[in-house]
Amino acid sequence: MTRIDATFARLRGQNRKAFVAYIMAGDPDVAGSLAVMRGMPAAGVDVIELGMPFTDPMADGPTIQAAGQRSLAGGHKMDMTLQMVRDFRADDGETPIVLMGYYNPIYARGVTRFLDEAAAAGVDGLIVVDLPPEEDAELCLPAQAAGLNFIRLATPTTDAKRLPKVLQNTSGFVYYVSVTGITGAAAAQAADVGPEVARIKASTDLPVIVGFGITTPEAAQTIASVADGCVVGSAIVKLIGDGKPVSEVLARVSALSAGAHRA
């Protein structure tokens, strides 16, 4: 059982929804992003998504694209992302960490090397946006063999024919993308999300967590109420990009998590 599995089992026993928060590694710099990351559990974050900066992030809207560009412009490398995880783990051995990003940096590093280093650092799961189920042998199956959950995205266009393939080797949780498009492009609507979450849950025992288009505590509560929890990324990353102090960023994270936990 991974930390992700244990966290969702605990939340299920508490009849509590999950709050997942995303930040970009190295934005605005390593020290700043690590400070936010370290403060997240006390701010109510159940699972941390740590973005791996990449030059061509196809699923990311302008806010997260800009964060990745800032990180890369500052000289951020994969070594630094993994070191952030190690540094976080020095003080926190429980909060799950999911690395989210794209396959190219992993491929360039070498799959075996990357998985060995990620597992040793304390990573619990991966979301790799541009690897479809047809390529599971490339990374998904080796990741699971290394003890990491491989979390797959389902979208509004994942129809009944496609869904079984998406779910086939997914573990940890299913990430449901609430809108058709990129992050930060539109607001998630519970009336649209609820039936889709129910459809997915009819085919899997995994938790279904909804992301994209959630920017306020009220939206976090509304969306979490029709799922097993929600993810917020752009709303947090925007504060970092605006140069807000860590304390203000974490205060917003706390308000968002409280919204999800009220669901």
CA atoms of 211 and 223, how far apart (whole Å): 9
Q: Residues 5, 49, 136, 228: which is the catalytic one?
A: 49
Q: Residues 5, 27, 46, 60: which is the catalytic one?
A: 60
Question: What is the 3 state secondary structure string of the chain?
Answer: CCHHHHHHHHHHHCCCCEEEEEEECCCCCHHHHHHHHHHCHHHCCCEEEEECCCCCCCCCCHHHHHHHHHHHHCCCCHHHHHHHHHHHHCCCCCCCEEEEECHHHHHHHCHHHHHHHHHHHCCCEEEECCCCHHHCCCCHHHHHHCCCEECCEECCCCCCCCHHHHHCCCCCCEEEECCCCCCCCCCCCHHHHHHHHHHHHCCCCCCEEEECCCCCHHHHHHHHCCCCEEEECHHHHHHHHCCCCHHHHHHHHHHHHHHHHHC
Please confirm, yes or no, whether 60 is among the known catalytic residues: yes
Judge whether 200 and 81 are in contact, CB under 8 Å. no
Query: Residue 184 phi/psi, 5° resolution?
Result: 75, 10
Q: Which neighbouring-strand residues pair with 22?
A: 49
| Residue 228 Cα to chain centre, angstroms | 14
Residue 105 identity (one-letter amino acid): P
Please confirm, yes or no, whether 218 is among the known catalytic residues: no
Positions marked active-site:
49, 60
